[in-house]
């Protein structure tokens, strides 16, 4: 047997995120099968909310940026560095900063990884989006005030084929 090839940084990030998202999806699937969609949504959101503060602390420590985020530029720098680690290409999402205090997200039409996975297991019509909720929990953990437009409860892609919106931050 020959030695395995050494993976590049982007390949490692992609592999770890794919494994993590598959674990997350399988966890949701087994909650759904054992407890039903309402309980699966509830447990998913509880897990995301309790994970976010630990995740943010670990990210800040790993990036060497443990100071408080005080303004939009601090946030933007932190989010760009974080997104390279946690939002790989296979998620099919674009995140931009079209103007001051705005983070815009947009999934490729019909191509959100969570939408496709939850649709595959037959629960998309009652799924409560965990993807945007995870971002909300990150921002809460960072102590940043924001509004999200549109409010995301159900899967936006289910109703319109499109999932996009804005986080409007308040750094006063």
Assigned domain for 55 exists = yes
Q: How many domains does the chain have?
A: 1
Q: Which residue range forms the structural domain that includes residue 139?
A: 9-170
Long-range contacts of 40-44 (CB under 8 A, 24+ apart): 40/123, 41/126, 41/127, 41/128, 44/128, 44/130
pTM value is 0.92
Q: Which CATH number characterizes residue 66's domain? A: 3.30.1380
3-state secondary structure of 171: coil
Assigned domain for 33 exists = yes
Assigned domain for 4 exists = no
The pLDDT tens digits along the chain (172 residues) read: 677 889 999 999 999 999 999 999 999 999 999 999 999 999 999 999 999 999 999 999 999 988 889 999 999 999 999 999 999 888 999 999 999 999 999 999 999 999 999 999 999 999 999 999 999 999 999 999 999 999 999 999 998 899 999 999 999 8
């Amino acid at each position: 047997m020959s030695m395995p090839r050494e993976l590049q940084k982007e390949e490692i990030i992609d592999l770890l995120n794919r494994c993590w998202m598959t674990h997350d999806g399988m966890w949701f699937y087994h909650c759904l099968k054992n407890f039903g969609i309402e309980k699966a949504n509830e447990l998913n959101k509880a897990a995301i909310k309790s994970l976010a503060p630990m995740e943010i602390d670990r990210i800040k420590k790993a990036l060497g940026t443990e100071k408080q985020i005080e303004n939009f530029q601090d946030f933007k720098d932190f989010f760009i560095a974080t997104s390279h680690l946690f939002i790989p290409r296979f998620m099919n999402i674009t995140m931009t900063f079209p103007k001051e205090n705005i983070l815009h997200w947009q999934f490729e039409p019909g191509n959100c990884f969570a939408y496709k996975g939850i649709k595959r297991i037959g629960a998309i019509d009652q799924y409560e989006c965990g993807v945007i909720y995870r971002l909300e929990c990150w921002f809460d953990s960072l102590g940043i005030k924001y509004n999200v437009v549109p409010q995301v409860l159900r899967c936006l892609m289910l109703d319109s084929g499109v999932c996009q919106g804005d986080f409007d931050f308040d750094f006063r």
